[in-house]
Structure 1
Amino acid sequence: MYFHVRHCETWLSKNNFIDRFVTFNGLGDNEKFGRLGNQLFQIAATIGVARRNHVAYVFPSWKYSSFFQKALPQTKFRLSANKTYYEKSFTYQPIDIYCSINLSGFFQSEKYFAHCENEVRKVFTPHPRISEQLTTRFGKLLAGRTCSVHVRRTDYLENSNFTDLASTSYYEEAIGRLDEKTRFIVFSDDISWCKRLFHGKRFIFIEGKSDICDIYDLFLMARCQSHIIANSSFSWWGAWLNANPDKIVIAPAQWFAGEFANPAMSFDPGPPHTGFHSTKDLLPENWIRI
């Protein structure tokens, strides 16, 4: 069966139809596949798998589309792919396709889209109005040496499968790696707690009040020169979207805890995922691990 799609100029045939595609029907399902950071991985992996297999990529509607410079190739309908490919491991697994597929999983590795990095960066370029708003509001703040610091706290306190970095020396050690003239721009879901942790004029706290603020925070993170990320896909992307090849990114070596960190626990593709989550493909090689 064929499906008409909009905004897919590169891949449309003369009849305005595509015969094979890669999609991610669960995009935007926060309960099943996670929030913004996870969704960016899912989009990037979909693009990467499609490009590697020389087929089209297309997506369902997505609430963040208007915040980016170019809309994702999109269909009004839920695409009925020939099969669903379930993520087999938390490590990178090459995906060869012979028919239209729907991806299901998290696909948290740059290796899924490294071969089309420039295209992914273009897809995730903020809309000019967003860039203008950030420049107007934060231009002076971003002048000089800046480092984003992300602290994810509230939901991790109740999830034993994620390391509570705030209870370790991670942030203290990471901050100590940066120049004394660096100013730290702090992003968190618990800013009040962060204000008790970080002291001094070098720390500036970004406070948001709605779920839409997360996209602005992401783009603001990407404008910083350096990054201290949490064990979070959100700040992973805040660092990755900074295209400066000389950037410094510091990341936690211990991402998971509990059964996610136990090699004896078999990985279950779910969703939700359970079992061992190997992080060997999670972080780019040039990021500093602490």
Structure 2
Amino acid sequence: MKDVQQATRRFEDTGTLGLSQIETAAEKKRTHFLGLTGAWGRLGNHMFFYASLRGIGDAINYTPMLSRTDPILKLFEINLNNSVSTFTLNNNVVKSEKCIGIFTKDLMSPMDKTTNITVSGYLQSFKYFQKIESEIRKEFILKADIKARINHIFNTLNITHRIKVGVHVRRGDFVHRGGTKLPTPSFFYKAMNILRQTLRNPVFVVCSEDKKWATDHLRFNDSVIVHENVEVDFGVLMSCDHSIISSGTFSWWTAYLTKGTSIYFKGFPSPPLLGCITPSDYYPSHWIGLE
């Protein structure tokens, strides 16, 4: 009962989301809604929440819901339409994932249409939304002011027309957190050398909240260091052509939204988090893992 009450409170300020969500809901005659209990973490986590709810909703013919205060709305051109009251969502059941990054196929199976559904979990697997990948990419379009700032940064650095490799270095809270082994400089050196050999005159655009570490270890003739805030850093990285990523969902999404080569740190996750993330459910098979 407690989970249902929490789920109901979650929807006190919600709306259906999507560039064509009204048409989709009407066309499929959706009358039930799919939401999420809790909303833990920062931007990358929230992107997984939204994308996975979209994918699950598409599979079971439910309309996904999201809070109007969700952080992804600060960054992306996602439309909010048709607010929903708590009264509408009182008839609700809670479904749970197996673990953080383990694809739970049962969530994609048809369900009894007599109730709304709230999913409990992190939903960190691309398999939830792989069938609607093109729609997800259309949702995660940068807001005009952020895009303008990124264009200004690229112009100032004189790299607008260069082949750009986004390099994300996650440190901060991961330095002391269990299950989040951090890559050493050698990982980045190996990844950068691979792309130097396969790309024509690339420039490595390094973003990190630990700017000193990035400057000390990744300052080269063919690299630039950029760090402003979460939204701009994310936009810079996703606007690059290729990706080198370390750990965490922020990194993951910057790689997913670029269409080139993605190289990831294979040491993440590590125990005890490893038991909750299946690498084949978390990393697309065409990404390249290095340690």
Match of 2:263 in 1: 250
Indicate conservation of the 8 Å contact 1:60/1:75, yes or no: no
Structure 2: gaps spanning 5 or more residues: 1-7
Q: CA, structure 1 residues 182+55, in 2 after alignment: closer, same or farther (shift >3 Å)?
A: same
Matched to 2:194, the amino acid is: R
* Superposition pairs of residues 1-290 of structure 1, within 5 angstroms: 5=15, 8-10=21-23, 19-27=31-39, 33-61=40-68, 62-73=70-81, 75=83, 77=85, 79-80=89-90, 82-89=92-99, 90-94=101-105, 95=107, 96=109, 97-98=111-112, 99-139=115-155, 140-166=158-184, 169-179=186-196, 181-208=201-228, 213-242=229-258, 244=259, 247-261=260-274, 263=275, 276-290=276-290
Structure 1: gaps spanning 5 or more residues: 28-32, 264-275
CA root-mean-square deviation: 2.7
- TM superposition outliers: structure 1 runs of 4+ over 3 Å: 3-8, 11-14, 72-81
Count residues with an aligned counterpart.
262
User: Matches of 2:214 and 2:242 in 1, distance apart?
Assistant: 19
Shift of 1:77: 4.5
SS in structure 2 opposite 1:164?
A: coil
Shift of 1:75: 3.3
SS in structure 1 opposite 2:66?
A: coil
Q: CA, structure 1 residues 40+228, in 2 after alignment: closer, same or farther (shift >3 Å)?
A: same
Summarize deviations over 1:68-127 as a string: whole Å, max 9, x none: 223245636454461122211332122123232112211111110011111111111112
Q: CA, structure 1 residues 100+121, in 2 after alignment: closer, same or farther (shift >3 Å)?
A: same
Q: CA, structure 1 residues 121+189, in 2 after alignment: closer, same or farther (shift >3 Å)?
A: same
Q: CA, structure 1 residues 175+81, in 2 after alignment: closer, same or farther (shift >3 Å)?
A: farther
User: Matches of 1:76 and 1:36 in 2, distance apart?
Assistant: 24
Please give the TM-score of this superposition, normalised by the length of structure 2: 0.81
Match of 2:4 in 1: none
Q: CA, structure 1 residues 6+106, in 2 after alignment: closer, same or farther (shift >3 Å)?
A: closer
Indicate conservation of the 8 Å contact 1:72/1:123, yes or no: no
Summarize deviations over 1:176-227 as a string: whole Å, max 9, x none: 111262211111120111111123222211122xxxx212211211111110
User: Matches of 1:279 and 1:195 in 2, distance apart?
Assistant: 30
Indicate conservation of the 8 Å contact 2:16/2:63, yes or no: no
SS in structure 1 opposite 2:67?
A: coil
Indicate conservation of the 8 Å contact 1:22/1:101, yes or no: yes
Indicate conservation of the 8 Å contact 1:58/1:72, yes or no: no
Summarize deviations over 1:114-153 as a string: whole Å, max 9, x none: 1111111111111233323322332433321211111111
Q: Percent identity?
A: 23
Indicate conservation of the 8 Å contact 2:166/2:207, yes or no: yes
User: Matches of 1:258 and 1:286 in 2, distance apart?
Assistant: 24
In terms of fraction of residues, the more helix-rich structure is 2
User: Matches of 2:174 and 2:73 in 1, distance apart?
Assistant: 28
Matched to 1:152, the amino acid is: R
In terms of fraction of residues, the more strand-rich structure is 2
